[in-house]
Amino acid sequence: MITVERKTGETDVSLSLELAGKRKIQVRTGIGFFDHMLTSLAFWGGWDLTLHCKGDLEVDTHHTVEDVAITLGQAFKKATAGCGAIERIAYAFVPMDEALCRVVVDICNRPYCVFDADFKVERVGDYETYMTEHFFRSFATEARITLHMHGLVGTNDHHMIEGMFKGLGLALRRALIPREGGVASTKGSL
């Protein structure tokens, strides 16, 4: 179990993460839709996740979403340190009614994020949709993964965003599957 805390003048985040968990998930950020997305991510990743964040939501959701992404990315990086021979590269396509999202990951120790989605509304509940890209970029940077995320089609932003979070969980779970033959790199290390 990995534990990470982050306290700033804007947020107070604490989390515990177990990647090979039993889907014991408890998330409280003060942003209902964001809690739902993080729960979906952890469920499809097969994680145990306890995450609490108190943020300056009277300003907006930016600091809360950003600091949760940073903290979760740091925990993921710690949890995968020295994981050895894993599949490393994986993808997921997630349909949610009219929406279809594609997520491709490389657990490679090289942070990069490509994000392509067109949202139609400014908010889903209290969650600002523009923060979706920022969450995934911040997570990828701190987790030190390469992440390509594409909202291929869709008209319902709730479905589009949820497909992305589910897809990330599923792709990461697939990328962490142990493999024979050593580290998946011609260099011999990631």
CATH number at residue 35: 3.30.230.40
Say how many domains are in the chain: 1
Q: Is residue 11 part of a domain?
A: yes
Q: Is residue 181 part of a domain?
A: no
Q: Is residue 185 part of a domain?
A: no
Q: Is the pLDDT of residue 186 over 60?
A: no
Domain containing residue 119: 2-175
Find, among 21, 176, 187, 174, the residue nearest to 85 by Cα: 176
The predicted pLDDT at position 38 comes to 98
Please state the rounded mean pLDDT for residues 150-174: 98
* HSE of 89, CA atoms in CB hemisphere, 13 A: 6
Q: Is residue 182 part of a domain?
A: no
Q: Is the pLDDT of residue 60 over 60?
A: yes
Q: Is residue 115 part of a domain?
A: yes
Distance CA 50, CA 52 (A): 7
Q: Is residue 180 part of a domain?
A: no
Q: Is residue 189 part of a domain?
A: no
Q: What pTM, to 2 d.p., does this model score? A: 0.94
Q: Residue 189's pLDDT band (boundaries 50, 70, 90)?
A: low
Q: Is the pLDDT of residue 190 over 70?
A: no
Q: Residue 84's pLDDT band (boundaries 50, 70, 90)?
A: confident
DSSP state, residue 187: T
The predicted pLDDT at position 44 comes to 98
Q: Is residue 166 part of a domain?
A: yes
- CA 127 to chain CA centroid, nearest Å: 16
